[in-house]
């Protein structure tokens, strides 16, 4: 019989399932930190034909991919269905059709195996990608930078996030995607902007960063408009414009985190989310860590983007806490994260 006790001992195996957007992923993680196997199928190449993610297309691709992805990862991990202790699945936020595929599959499999099913918050799971590298140290600051979200937290303990600030309009990833479209590049924009920015020689163009008047918030809608205006003036220098955009995003993130540390002088800062795969961001935060004397933690690039290992890692701590999906719970497209605070 599977181990469904709260707390439990060692060798707790969690199957994680991620389907919030355009990537179908599964992973098996032991004790919240040891990755046994992971697998992912992305429909990004299909979505690129439309210039972005089409929800109906994403849901269809998930429906076709989820069974073979889960089957492969169990075989790769050498784990039988009877060896699992629980199933963790991204419950939200995300695209409704995509989430529905993952949640329905997890609940069906859990019911058949008499296993607990744990719904996890996609963005909180991104932070737990750091737990796959080393134990999380508390209290700490946590910066989440993804395609649709930019948020800053005081991480006070497992499952205890206090929101310090968030984007007031567009996220950093949206600024990169919009910038890529302005520069006539393909979706997704982040890797394209980074690659083009790496070709810049003069690096003397500059974009404004929103003044948040001391608040620990972010705003990137203005930088998108400014990028268009800058490109109109320097249409023959797209690489310089890309560098200016990347630099503006980095400066905004660094400035806000520096203010947060002055108010909460912790010893560790954790970064997570797809945008933290950007090399300029990783380098800038390494320098910030040196200047402040704090440890900077960023997952390997392969765990910055959507994956199921992070879902399973978070699922372990929620399993320990006795957190289970209710009998009538489904996907949550809107899913707040973190207690708000100063």
Provide DSSP, 224-257. HHHHHHHHHH-TT-HHHHHHHHHHHHHHHHHHHH
2 has pLDDT over 90:
no
The SS3 assignment for 204 reads coil
Task: Tell me the average pLDDT across 130-153.
Answer: 95
For residue 255, what pLDDT is reported?
96
The domains found in the chain, sorted by start residue, are: 13-129+304-340 (3.30.420.40), 138-298 (3.30.420.40)
For residue 10, what pLDDT is reported?
65
Per-residue tokens: 271 = 């970064």
CA–CA gap between residue 18 and residue 115 (Å, rounded) = 18
For residue 54, what pLDDT is reported?
77
User: Average pLDDT over the chain, rounded to whole?
Assistant: 92
CA–CA gap between residue 88 and residue 93 (Å, rounded) = 15
**pLDDT single digits (tens) 53-103:** 777 888 898 899 999 999 999 999 999 999 999 999 999 999 999 999 999
**pLDDT, greater one: 187 or 80:** 80
**pLDDT single digits (tens) 297-308:** 999 999 999 999
43 has pLDDT over 70:
no
The conformational region for residue 153 under phi > 0 = left, psi -120 to 50 = alpha, else beta, is beta
What is this structure's pTM?
0.91
The answer to whether the CB of 341 falls within 8 A of the CB of 117 is no
Q: Which of 6-15, 20-29, 135-144, 172-181 has the lowest mean pLDDT?
A: 6-15
- Eight-class DSSP state of 138: S
288 has pLDDT over 80:
yes
Task: Tell me the average pLDDT across 256-279.
Answer: 97
% of the chain surpassing 90 pLDDT: 82
For residue 341, what pLDDT is reported?
47
**pLDDT single digits (tens) 162-183:** 999 999 999 999 999 999 999 9
| Peptide bond connecting 139 to the previous residue in cis, omega within 30 degrees of 0 | yes
């Amino acid at each position: 019989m599977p181990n469904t006790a709260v707390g439990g001992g060692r060798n707790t195996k969690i199957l994680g399932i991620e389907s919030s957007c355009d990537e179908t992923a599964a992973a098996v993680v032991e004790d919240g930190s040891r990755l046994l196997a992971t697998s992912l199928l992305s429909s990004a190449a299909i979505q690129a034909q439309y210039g972005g993610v089409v929800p109906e297309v994403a849901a269809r691709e998930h429906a076709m991919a989820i069974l073979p992805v889960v089957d492969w990862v169990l075989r790769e991990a050498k784990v039988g269905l009877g060896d699992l202790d629980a199933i963790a699945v991204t419950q939200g936020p995300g695209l409704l059709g995509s989430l529905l595929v993952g949640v329905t599959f997890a609940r069906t499999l859990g019911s058949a195996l008499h296993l607990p099913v744990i719904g996890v918050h996609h963005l909180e799971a991104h932070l737990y990608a750091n737990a796959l590298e080393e134990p999380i140290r508390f209290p700490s600051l946590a910066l989440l930078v993804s395609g649709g979200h930019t948020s800053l937290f005081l991480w006070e303990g497992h499952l205890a996030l206090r929101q310090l600030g968030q984007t007031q309009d567009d996220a950093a990833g949206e600024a990169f995607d919009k910038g890529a479209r302005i520069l006539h590049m393909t979706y997704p924009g982040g890797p394209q902007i980074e690659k083009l920015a790496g070709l810049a020689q003069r690096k003397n163009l500059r974009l404004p960063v929103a003044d948040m008047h001391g608040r620990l918030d972010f705003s990137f809608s203005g930088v998108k408009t400014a990028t268009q205006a800058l490109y109109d003036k320097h249409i023959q220098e797209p690489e310089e414009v890309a560098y200016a955009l990347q630099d503006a995003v980095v400066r905004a993130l660094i400035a806000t985190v520096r203010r947060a540390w002055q108010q909460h002088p912790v010893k560790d800062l954790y970064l997570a989310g797809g945008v933290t795969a950007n090399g300029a961001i990783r380098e800038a935060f390494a320098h910030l860590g040196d200047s402040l004397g704090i440890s900077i933690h960023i997952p390997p690039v392969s765990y910055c983007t959507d994956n199921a290992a992070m879902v399973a890692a978070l699922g372990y701590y929620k399993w320990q806490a006795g957190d289970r999906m209710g009998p009538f719970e489904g996907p949550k497209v809107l899913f707040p994260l973190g207690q708000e605070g100063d």
